[in-house]
Amino acid sequence: MKNKNIIGHAAALFTIIIWGTTFISTKVMLVDFQPVEILFFRFMIGFLALVIVCPHRLEKTSLKEEGVFAAAGLCGICLYYLLENIALTYTLASNVGVIISIAPFFTAILTHFVRKEDGKLTVSFFIGFLVAMAGIALISFPGFKLELNPMGDFLAILAALVWACYSVLTRKISGFGYPTILTTRRVFFYGILFMIPALFLFDFKLGLERFGKPVYLLNIMFLGLGASAMCFVTWNFAVRVLGAVKTSIYIYMVPVITVVTSVLILKEKVTVLAGIGIGLTLVGLFLSEGKRTVRKEEKDEPVK
């Protein structure tokens, strides 16, 4: 069991490292692509990749289970990314980065009241949350220039809440006992299905000739195969092993990975405040990972 937990933590960390670098690929593609186009193409590639890797069908699912799959696809694939992308058109990217990082807090609250799987939330979790948020704020606002944009910030809060819902639904799906690749593929299917109406609202253009440029082809393949197909499988596996709360805490690492990637790839410099912020974020993560008090009957109770 201990080895499995280690693998779960490794899967979550791997996922966050990849997700923390996707901003570079997205930034490159935004020159000729709209956000919704990048979103659609990456998840279509991810879906097809999962079909190729595991062509078996997910059979004998109940109507209730399909409802959970559909809700997960709506929240984690469609709404989360649409809300985040729309928020970026109203407010600063730094604002969105900080606000999205409160997703673990929402996940903990939802899990505590909806599933009660992680027992009583401890003081260390909330202290860790505050320390991590302070660190993330230093990373995102090194000059202490905070600019509030009510509409964009509100949409970012909704995105964080929607991701928390996805995390809880993913934990629910893990209890069905199906292979992770098959369940992830089913969630992708519903996410793309719900995404289709939004394509018309945002003036989606197929424009496949744009992928004639190697830079666009390579970046969309990274987003589709790596950040979508592979990472959603590893993230869902981590949730299955560690639970929704412990896995979601790794979201605190996204701004840290982004800073490190900026230094290594874009050759940007790290300010002293950003360095302190990275330290605080890591401390907050470890504090939030502290053991929780779980009643024995809840430990032994299988996931429903």
Highest-confidence segment of 21-35, 53-67, 82-96: 53-67
Highest-confidence segment of 17-21, 101-105, 214-218, 254-258: 214-218
Task: Report yes or no on 18 lying in a domain.
Answer: yes
Task: Report yes or no on 122 lying in a domain.
Answer: no
Task: Report yes or no on 269 lying in a domain.
Answer: no
Cβ-Cβ contacts under 8 Å for 17 (sequence gap 6 or more): 253, 257
Task: Report yes or no on 291 lying in a domain.
Answer: no
What pLDDT is stored for residue 94 in this prediction? 63
Structurally, how many domains does the chain consist of? Answer: 1
Task: Report yes or no on 302 lying in a domain.
Answer: no
HSE, side-chain direction, 13 A CA sphere, residue 158: 18
With contact defined as beta carbons under 8 Å apart, do 155 and 86 qualify? Answer: yes
Query: pLDDT tens digits for 250-263?
Result: 888 887 887 777 77
Closest by CA position to 52, among listed 227, 185, 171, 201: 185
With contact defined as beta carbons under 8 Å apart, do 273 and 138 qualify? Answer: yes
Task: Report yes or no on 52 lying in a domain.
Answer: yes
Q: Which domain holds residue 71?
A: 2-116+146-243
Rounded distance, CA 50 to CA 229, Å? 6
Least confident residue range of 94-98, 106-110, 186-190, 254-258: 94-98
